[in-house]
Each structure stands twice: as C-alpha cells, then as structure tokens.
Amino acid sequence: MKNPSPIQRGLFVGAVCFLLISVLFSITGIPAAELFSVLGGTLTLGFYAFFVKNGQSTKRSLYARHLTLLLLVAAIILKSFELSVGSFFFLAAFVTFLVWFVWSVLEELPPSED
C-alpha cells in the first residue's frame, strides 16, 4: 500500500476527534452529542475500512482490533443517545482490547525452540 495522503490522514484524525467531542458533549449534556457521534463513528469506520483494505498486514490479531473498534464506536453512539446498553458495549470493547493487546504481543514473540 502506498502511504495515505496527508489529507486522508487528517480526515481520519478529524473523524476520531468527532467521536471524542461527542463523548465530551454527552458528559456535559450538550444536545449535539448524537450528531457528532453518528458522524464521527461513520467516518471513523469508513476510513478505517479503507486503510485496512489497502494495507498489507496479515497478522491474525487484526480480528480483535477490528472488533474492538467496532464495539467502541457502537458504545459511544449508544451512550450519546443515552441508551444504557452502551455500558455493556464499553465493557465488551475493553475486554476485546485486552485480548487484542495480549494477542499482538504474543505474535511478536519468536517461536519457541521446544
């Protein structure tokens, strides 16, 4: 894959910032939280899918990373609409993050000599 352009990188960072702003708006009670969460979540997942599709990584730990991002975006969107099921999605995202972290560390280790 050729490197993404600075514009594509900037738009991806902006989409993630929309998600973070929606969390801030949810905490403070500003009514635009839903708009920012849906827009940020859609753009984040879209750019992420584009970058993964054009990437060349073949690590199996990517499955856990995909699930982590999907659950985290779903949790942020659900919590911005003040749905209590979003808490369970945050818990599931945290568990999948831990699985992804451990799996990616284990993939980096050299094979055993047994």
pLDDT at 114 over 80: no
Tens of pLDDT, residue by residue over 1-54, are 678 899 999 999 999 999 999 999 999 999 999 999 999 999 999 999 999 998
**pTM of the predicted structure, to 2 decimals:** 0.89
Question: Hey, where are the domains in the chain?
Answer: 6-108
If phi > 0 it is left, if psi is from -120 to 50 it is alpha, else beta; for residue 4 that is beta
Q: How far apart are CA 80 and CA 16, in angstroms?
A: 15
Give per-residue pLDDT as tens, 65-85: 999 999 999 999 999 999 999
Provide the pLDDT confidence category of residue 58 given band limits of 50, 70 and 90: confident
